[in-house]
Structure 1
Amino acid sequence: MHMIETAHLAMPKLGFGTWALKGADCARAVAEAIGLGYRHIDTAEMYDNEEAVGQGIRASGVARDLLFVTTKVWWTNLAAPEAALAASLKRLRLDHVDLFLIHWPNPAIPLASTLAAMVGLKERGLARAIGVANFPAGLLREAVSTGAPIACNQVEYHVMLSQEPVLRVARAHDIVVTAYSPLGKGGLAEDPTLAAIGRRHGVTGAQVALAWLLEQDRVAAIPKSGRIENMRANLAALDLRLTDEDRAAIAALPKNRRFVNPSWSPAWDQAA
Structure 2
Amino acid sequence: MKIATFNINGVKARLPRLKEWLEETRPAIACLQEIKSQEDAFPAKEFEALGYRALVCGQKGFNGVAILVDEKAGYSLNEVQRGLGIDGPKEDEGEQARYLEADVTDPDGASTRIVDIYLPNGNPQPGPKFDYKIAWMARLRERMQAIWQEEVPAAVLGDYNVIPEDDDVWSPKAMASDALMRPESRAAYARLLGDGWTDAVRTLNPRGGVWTFWDYQSGAWPRDHGFRIDHILLSPQLADRLQAVGVDREHRGREKASDHAPVWAILRS
- TM-score tier (shorter): 0.3 to 0.5
Q: Which has the higher strand share?
A: 2
Q: Which has the higher helix share?
A: 1
TM-score by length of 1: 0.37
